[in-house]
Amino acid sequence: MAGLAESGSNPDVDLLYDINGLAKDAPHWFDRIMEFVGEYGLLLGMVLLVLWCWWTVRRRGDDSAASSVAALVWAPLAAGIAVLVNVPIRGFVERPRPFVDHQGLDVLVSGKTDYSFVSDHATLTMAMGVALFVANRRFGLLGIGLALLEGFCRVYMGVHYPTDVVGGFALGTAVALLLSPLAMALLTPVMKAVERSPRAGLLIRARGTGRTGHDALIPGSRTERSEERDLAA
């Protein structure tokens, strides 16, 4: 490939041309799909995955529901914090987009004028995926898989170097894991307070899956009396 000859011995650029070269060989309709998926679709998919996990935790309604929901709340917060941390990193590194310095790339998304390192999309999705893994391993593995696919899409689209994506993965993972203990210490009491609310508690447990609201706190309440009858029986 001509791109490989231009790239010299830089493996980062070599891999960029190899992956982006797939876009040149793909049908136009497939590139349009990849453009949507890489720019918006996987971010939306990650949000839906977090909501799906929340719905599962809420319906199960076990004793750890409040802490599980706290971990799910941390997922988008971790993503937001990671992107904020990336702002000074981008300004310090000032790496141009790959299509600025390298000819012959098939750039699927136009109008990208900001710096390249590190990838916001890779940072966002990996932070959410890792934070989701803290809450639920099964859903977290799916989330990390979506993040890896997002990284591939950013290189395929010609808007990031592979190292931009790897840097985003590292940043998102670091923020999600290192700040998780502090986030859980702050969010878990809040979610437990919400759980005790008669109405807002339904955000933590579905009706009938656990004792929420005033019935969970007042001795002799209808819930407690029904449990006593069940034990007597």
pLDDT tens digits, one per residue of 67-86? 889 999 999 999 999 999 99
Quick one: how far is CA 209 from the chain centroid?
28
| DSSP 3-state of 26 | coil
Q: Give the other-Cβ count within 10 Å of 151's Cβ.
A: 25
pLDDT of residue 109: 87
Residues in Cβ contact with 89 at an 8 Å cutoff, skipping those fewer than 6 apart: 117, 118, 171
- Hey, what amino acid is at 67? S
What is the predicted pLDDT for the residue at 160? 94
- Where do the domains of the chain lie? 7-195
Q: Domain 7-195 is in which class?
A: mainly alpha
Return the pLDDT at 209. 62
Q: Which amino acid is at 20?
A: N
Nearest to 113 by CA among 94, 96, 91: 96
Q: pLDDT tens, 145-161? A: 999 999 999 999 999 99
Question: With a cut of 50, which residues of the chain have pLDDT below it?
Answer: 1-7, 212-233
pTM for this prediction: 0.81
Q: Report which secondary-structure segment, H or E, holds 154.
A: helix 137-156
Nearest CA-CA partner of 20 in 36, 1, 39: 1
